[in-house]
Amino acid sequence: MRILIANDDGVYSPGICALAQVAQDFGEVRVVAPDVEMSSASHSITASRPLSYKRTPLKGIEAYRVNGTPGDCVALGAHHWEKVDVVLSGINLGPNLGNGLWHSGTLAAAKQAVLFGMRGFAFSTPVGEDEPDWEMLKRWAAKTLEILLPDERLSLVNVNFPMTEPRGMRWTRQSVKQYDGKVVPGRDPMGREHFWFTVVPIEETEEGTDRWAVEHGYVSLTPLRLDLTNEKELAEALTRHPLA
Ligand code: MN
């Protein structure tokens, strides 16, 4: 099995190294990731300038850095390496839950894989004041891959780890009732007003959702799809506004 590893934190993030090391037990591994952090780049691509693809050392793993987005990295990775089966993205430093998925560059790499006919799985972990426990996360990433990789019917799955040693794993749905994007005003040292548009953690207790699972100490596995069609509103619109 050929496994392409990407992320949005950049090729030198400890999270991508941990994920690549785990993936080596499951198949041939190659890392292709942005040369700098591209968090919140979502599913953007670089269309206005050319991209570079440069070999870069990464603890004995074949790796390349790209001056582009996570989506660009998957495109260039698949272009340079034939017959990739699956793209793993992460492990992101920070959760990717609920409506925050719209902004996620980590998930975008997995989505880009699906657009190209591969499978894509995204991995994220919350980060506290201390460095994440990478050995613990690697054990749980391996448990997750043991479920996801052999099951060809799972094409796009968003995986989130809890803050501490997991109690287990849960299949979840995306929590969509709340949005955690907020504009936070501040002042620079010169007294000038500025703004951060940022994602502030929110609490969500709706059982069965991704956010509920990680808040209760479980690894959250959410199968996703790329078809954004609102089936209910489409059916209603066809009835209410029949178009000639
Ligand atoms: Mn990130």
Reported as a single tens digit per residue, the pLDDT across 140-167 is 999 999 999 999 999 999 999 999 999 9
Q: Is the peptide bond before 5 cis (omega within 30 degrees of 0)?
A: no
The pLDDT value given to residue 198: 83
Work out whether strand 28-34 and strand 2-6 pair parallel, antiparallel, or are unpaired: parallel
Domain assignment of residue 168, yes or no: yes
The domain spanning residue 15 has which CATH number? Answer: 3.40.1210.10
CA 20–ligand 1 middle distance (angstroms)? 16
Mean pLDDT of 183-202: 89
Mean pLDDT of 6-31: 98
pLDDT level of residue 81 (50, 70, 90 thresholds): very high
Alpha helices in the chain (DSSP H): 14-23, 70-80, 105-115, 134-148, 210-215, 231-240
The pLDDT value given to residue 244: 82
- Ion ligand 1 neighbours (CB, 5 A) are 8-9, 39, 92
Mean pLDDT of 173-188: 90
Largest CA distance in the chain: 62
Does 20 or 181 have the greater pLDDT score? 20
The pLDDT value given to residue 222: 98
Report the number of distinct structural domains present in the chain. 1
- Hey, what are 72's tokens? 């660009």
CA 38–ligand 1 middle distance (angstroms)? 7
CA 149–ligand 1 middle distance (angstroms)? 23
**Domain boundaries, position 66:** 2-176+203-240
Residues 6+ apart with CB under 8 A from 143: 169, 219
Domain assignment of residue 21, yes or no: yes
CA 90–ligand 1 middle distance (angstroms)? 8
pLDDT level of residue 205 (50, 70, 90 thresholds): confident
pLDDT level of residue 241 (50, 70, 90 thresholds): very high
Domain assignment of residue 169, yes or no: yes
CA 231–ligand 1 middle distance (angstroms)? 31
Domain assignment of residue 185, yes or no: no
CA 5–ligand 1 middle distance (angstroms)? 14
Asked if pLDDT for residue 212 goes beyond 70, the answer is yes
Mean pLDDT of 82-96: 97
Domain assignment of residue 190, yes or no: no
CA 39–ligand 1 middle distance (angstroms)? 4
3-class secondary structure per residue, 37-78: CCCCCCCCCCCCCCCCEEECCCCCCCEEEECCCHHHHHHHHH
Domain assignment of residue 156, yes or no: yes
Does 133 or 206 have the greater pLDDT score? 133
Question: Three-state DSSP class for 132?
Answer: coil
The pLDDT value given to residue 58: 93
CA 102–ligand 1 middle distance (angstroms)? 13
CA 87–ligand 1 middle distance (angstroms)? 16
Asked if pLDDT for residue 214 goes beyond 90, the answer is yes
CA 8–ligand 1 middle distance (angstroms)? 5
Residue with tokens 């448990």: 143
CA 186–ligand 1 middle distance (angstroms)? 23
Residues 6+ apart with CB under 8 A from 24: 61
Asked if pLDDT for residue 204 goes beyond 70, the answer is no
Task: Please say whether the beta carbons of 221 and 104 come within 8 A.
Answer: no
121 has which bridge partners? 88, 157
Asked if pLDDT for residue 201 goes beyond 70, the answer is no
pLDDT level of residue 57 (50, 70, 90 thresholds): confident
Mean pLDDT of 36-41: 96
pLDDT cut 90: percent of the chain above it: 92
Burial 26-39 (b: 16+ CB within 10 A, else e): beebbbbbbbeebb
CA 233–ligand 1 middle distance (angstroms)? 33
Mean pLDDT of 91-114: 96
CA 118–ligand 1 middle distance (angstroms)? 22
The pLDDT value given to residue 199: 76
The pLDDT value given to residue 11: 98
Asked if pLDDT for residue 98 goes beyond 70, the answer is yes
- Hey, what are 140's tokens? 């749980």
Domain assignment of residue 121, yes or no: yes
Domain assignment of residue 128, yes or no: yes
Based on its alpha-carbon atoms, the radius of gyration of the chain, rounded to whole angstroms, reads: 19
